[in-house]
Amino acid sequence: MGRRSMRVFSLFCGIAVVSLLRVSVMGQAPAADQGPVAEQVFKNITVLRGLPVDQFMGTMGFYASATGLNCTDCHTSESGGDWAKYADDTPLKQQARRMQVMMQTLNKTNFGGRQVVTCYTCHRGISRPLVMPSLDALYGEPPPDEPGDPFVQAQGQPSADQVLDKYIAAIGGAQRIAGITSLVAKGTYIGFDDADKVPIELYARAPGQRAFIVHGSLGNTTTTFDGRAGWIQAPPTDKPVPLYQITGQELEGVKFEAELMFPARLKQSLTNLRVGLPLYLGEREVQPVQGNTSGGGTVTMNFDTETGLLARLVRYGESPVGRLVTRVDYDDYRDVNGVKMPFRWTVRWLSGRSTYDMSSIQANVAVDAARFAKPQ
Ligand code: HEC
Ligand code: HEC
């Protein structure tokens, strides 16, 4: 995504970028427990109807990253300080609606309804798609592969069980891992283009509950997952609606990330596990292991072939505009009760990037169940 759009967006949204828009997915009509849909919450929705609010905001991140346009390019410049102004129409917003309809028609009439053409297919991060092939691109360095696309088990590669067993052994072994039942961590958080790092607290409980509290300058942003449902609450200036529910395949991705903190049952967390060909993340050779979440989301774990440690997680869910992808890079592994854990993780998604740096992680400290409940 163009830096420009990120900058304006994060200026407006400040710390809420932490996860407000780390949202996504859909495909089906939302279940009754997914909260209100976009047209019930927003004023002027004509084409993206039937989407839970988090997924609707995910599509906005996709629009911005696919076209290289800022939120306030398609919306009015006044919307940069007032969520109500996002309802006003502009020529670019109206064109985007026509494009959404055109794209759906293209997929339906030419590709049997499969979502193969997205905004990104034509736009590639710029508002006016190129008409002519670029000679510089033709003779320049090819862009790096985007890991995370679906693959099948590659021939001659180890089985998923072998790669995952190597990982479990590399971080300390099944027994030590099973001995950790809760985590309490402190550290700092910084969003894309934020001026300052701010404090963050993390709480987690096995097998898969997790809560983050980011203490931003505008107030706290709290993201919780209680094992079944997830929520995001951000300061009033940062959110179009008071409290988001995390839904669909994004929720399953969040569930997986929470379970990954206690990886004793890692093999059971995904289905249809397969191993792809090794690839390079920079200098580092990794082996990708891919699986599916219960609702069909795709998760790819990339393990360092030398150390066996998890280097990168890529997960996405489907949405009416395309795959809404989230990538987490793990670094700075240190020992906690005999288990190696990453103290730094960098999260990138279509509407922002955040870096979490932990200064302390304590294991087996009592954590109140209320920490993971829906924020009040
Ligand atoms: C490429 C143009 C485009 C970009 C970029 C874009 N939007 Fe939108 N936005 C739209 C369109 C089109 C709609 C109306 C969708 C519909 O009618 O179904 C909309 C609607 C909205 C609404 C609902 C407003 C209401 O009350 O009806 C919100 C909120 C919103 N956008 C926020 C954002 C944010 C935040 C960003 C930046 C991450 C963003 N948009 C980027 C095109 C855009
Ligand atoms: C099949 C190719 C294609 C797809 C798919 C596509 N677009 Fe476009 N889009 C174009 C072309 C070509 C133009 C430029 C038209 C022109 O120059 O008059 C354009 C122009 C635009 C513009 C106006 C830009 C400007 O600066 O005037 C917006 C906004 C836009 N598209 C948004 C989207 C969104 C959002 C999606 C996904 C829902 C999308 N487009 C999907 C081809 C596409």
- Is it the case that residue 325 has pLDDT exceeding 70? yes
43's tokens = 């004023």
The answer, yes or no, to whether any atom of ligand 2 lies below 6 A from the CB of 45, is: no
Task: Identify the band that residue 23 occupies on the pLDDT scale cut at 50, 70 and 90.
Answer: very low
Higher-pLDDT residue of 375 and 2 is 375
- Is it the case that residue 327 has pLDDT exceeding 80? yes
296-305, pLDDT tens digit by residue?
899 999 999 9
Q: What is the pLDDT of residue 240?
A: 79
Task: Identify the band that residue 9 occupies on the pLDDT scale cut at 50, 70 and 90.
Answer: very low
The C-alpha atoms of residue 310 and residue 163 are separated, in whole angstroms, by 10
State mean pLDDT over 166-187: 97
Q: What is the pLDDT of residue 116?
A: 92
Q: Give percent of the chain above pLDDT 70.
A: 90
Ligand nearest to the CA of 16: 1
138-174, pLDDT tens digit by residue?
999 987 776 678 899 999 999 999 999 999 999 999 9
Dihedral Cα 56, 61, 66, 71, nearest 10 deg? 110
The answer, yes or no, to whether any atom of ligand 2 lies below 6 A from the CB of 97, is: no
Ligand nearest to the CA of 103: 2
CA of 48 to the centre of ligand 1 (A): 10
156's tokens = 């001659």
Task: Identify the band that residue 351 occupies on the pLDDT scale cut at 50, 70 and 90.
Answer: confident
Closest residue to atom 41 of ligand 2, CA basis: 119
- Is it the case that residue 18 has pLDDT exceeding 90? no
State mean pLDDT over 30-52: 85
Q: What is the pLDDT of residue 333?
A: 98
The answer, yes or no, to whether any atom of ligand 2 lies below 6 A from the CB of 94, is: no
The answer, yes or no, to whether any atom of ligand 2 lies below 6 A from the CB of 93, is: no
Radius of gyration of the chain (CA): 21
- Is it the case that residue 19 has pLDDT exceeding 50? no
Ligand nearest to the CA of 91: 2
State mean pLDDT over 172-198: 94
State mean pLDDT over 285-296: 94
- Is it the case that residue 190 has pLDDT exceeding 50? yes
Q: What is the pLDDT of residue 296?
A: 87
Q: What is the pLDDT of residue 15?
A: 30
Ligand nearest to the CA of 322: 2
Q: Give percent of the chain above pLDDT 90.
A: 74
238-260, pLDDT tens digit by residue?
777 878 899 999 999 999 999 99
- Amino acid letter, residue 210: R
Task: Identify the band that residue 288 occupies on the pLDDT scale cut at 50, 70 and 90.
Answer: very high
Q: Which residues form the pocket of ligand 1, taking CB atoms under 6 Å from any ligand atom?
A: 9, 42-48, 60-61, 63-64, 67, 69, 71, 74-75, 86-87, 92-93, 96-97, 240, 351
Q: What is the pLDDT of residue 36?
A: 87
- Is it the case that residue 237 has pLDDT exceeding 80? no
Closest residue to atom 14 of ligand 2, CA basis: 128
| Region label for 21, one of left (φ > 0), alpha (ψ between -120 and 50) or beta (otherwise) | alpha
CA of 330 to the centre of ligand 2 (A): 36
Closest residue to atom 32 of ligand 2, CA basis: 96
Q: What is the pLDDT of residue 11?
A: 32
CA angle at residue 254 from 284 to 360, to 5 degrees? Answer: 65
- Residue in this structure with the two tokens 């993206």, named with its chain if needed: 48
| Region label for 55, one of left (φ > 0), alpha (ψ between -120 and 50) or beta (otherwise) | alpha
The C-alpha atoms of residue 34 and residue 183 are separated, in whole angstroms, by 28
State mean pLDDT over 64-93: 93
- Is it the case that residue 17 has pLDDT exceeding 60? no
The answer, yes or no, to whether any atom of ligand 2 lies below 6 A from the CB of 328, is: no
- Is it the case that residue 62 has pLDDT exceeding 60? yes
Task: Identify the band that residue 33 occupies on the pLDDT scale cut at 50, 70 and 90.
Answer: low
Closest C-alpha to 303, from 311, 315, 314, 295: 311
> Within 13 A of 93's CA, how many CA atoms are on the CB side?
20
CB burial of 87-102 (b: ≥16 within 10 Å; e: otherwise) equals eeeeeebeebeebbee
Higher-pLDDT residue of 133 and 17 is 133
Taking CA atoms, 256 is separated from 73, 78, 86, 250, 259, in Å, by 35, 38, 33, 10, 5
The C-alpha atoms of residue 189 and residue 44 are separated, in whole angstroms, by 34
Residue 207, preceding bond cis, omega within 30 degrees? yes
- Is it the case that residue 193 has pLDDT exceeding 90? no
The answer, yes or no, to whether any atom of ligand 2 lies below 6 A from the CB of 107, is: no
- Is it the case that residue 16 has pLDDT exceeding 50? no
